[in-house]
Structure 1
Amino acid sequence: MNRPVVAFTSRYGSTRRYATALASRFGTPATKLADLATASEADPLIVLSPLYATRIRGRRRIIRAIRSAPGRAALVVVGMSPTDDPGRATLADALVAASGRAVATFQLRGDFDPTRLGPLDRALMAVLRSRLRKTPDEPAARLILAREPIRFIDESTLDPVVAWANGLTGRET
């Protein structure tokens, strides 16, 4: 491993928390993706980004960073949905395909705190809640209708990312 770079974009803090924990394992600082001019010295490059409103946040910057990295690259997607949600994988695969490179992908679960939402997000959540009231037994309804903070961050789920970065697993897609 040459010089690992951990870059992230975050909206409400879960992705930042994972990025900081991951970077500390490598003894390097986590860098905001917006502040990363180039990843030309990164080996490996690990980009963490939240899944937000059916999009991976920072798509253009992620693609640019991945393309500029000379070594291996990984994309870590953080979202509230279960890590085996096929929609997450589809979004990650589309972003990886747009980069034109082999990129390892990882899925992590983040937190959700309704008290931290901005006005637009509160409005979107109100619409979502009205729809979820029709199916109160669905897992998403049980989580979101409660209006309580949801805690899914588990730093031990970073272990496969660290193993990949250390060359112990080959997960490129």
Structure 2
Amino acid sequence: MSKKILVTYTSKYGSTSQYAQWIAEKLNADLFPARSVNPKDLSQYDIVIYGGGLYAGGIAGVKLVTQNPCKNLIVFTVGLADPSTTDYSPIINKNFTPQLLKNTKLFHLRGGIDYKKLGPVHKTMMAMMKNMIQKKPVNERDGEDKEFLDTYNSKVNFENKQSIDSLIAYVNGML
């Protein structure tokens, strides 16, 4: 018997939506934006995969799955930072209780940004981040800081379809 899978997401600028589409295609899963999912319907699925962008220490829309029971929960985050060098534990600990965290598998993916499409709040946040980095002594800036300054106020896209492979393999191991 095949398991019923839902991929749902909150995407402001498109990267999370793109990853959700790729994941749903690979898994032949139902795909819905989080805003159109009735929380009561989550229990109808054997596996729920939730994707949310990272913004100021939060995961966009994640309360849909942290405040409503899911049989098997997988969460993927999408942000600008390189997942291979980023410590996500402060964000994860802020958004998940220890008990929920024990029962949730997490994946981190890299998105993109187009400064021309940012809303005023996000533009202000990015400007504040730029100012914080510029105040650091040059010798204390890491690779992420340098990359941020080099790409500030431009359009960059780090989306990579192959980066979903470990998530797909994990789900296939559950089937």
Q: TM-score range by the shorter chain?
A: 0.7 to 0.9
CA distance in 1, matches of 2:94, 2:173: 24
Runs (4+) of structure 1 exceeding 6 A deviation are none
Corresponding position of 1:142: 146
User: How many residues are paired up?
Assistant: 165
Name stretches of at least 5 consecutive residues in structure 1 with no aligned partner. Answer: none
AA aligned opposite 2:156 = I
Name stretches of at least 5 consecutive residues in structure 2 with no aligned partner. Answer: none
CA distance in 1, matches of 2:82, 2:116: 22
Closer, same or farther: CA 95–130 of 1 in aligned 2, 3 Å: closer
Percent identity between the two aligned chains? 22
Corresponding position of 1:10: 11
Secondary structure of 2:147's counterpart equals helix
Question: Once superposed, what is the RMSD of the aligned Cα atoms?
Answer: 2.2
Once the two structures are superposed, residues 100-130 of structure 1 have per-residue CA deviations (whole angstroms, 9 ceiling, x without a partner) of 3611111111111111101122122222222
- Higher fraction of helix: 2
Secondary structure of 1:11's counterpart equals coil
CA distance in 1, matches of 2:20, 2:159: 12
Secondary structure of 1:105's counterpart equals strand
Q: TM-score, normalised by structure 2?
A: 0.82
Corresponding position of 1:154: 160
Matches within 5 A, 1:38-49: 38-49=41-52
- Measured after TM superposition, the shift of residue 73 of structure 1 is 1.3
Matches within 5 A, 1:89-168: 89-97=89-97, 100=100, 102-135=103-136, 138-145=142-149, 146=151, 147-167=153-173
Once the two structures are superposed, residues 36-82 of structure 1 have per-residue CA deviations (whole angstroms, 9 ceiling, x without a partner) of 112112121111111111211113212134x1x23x21111111112
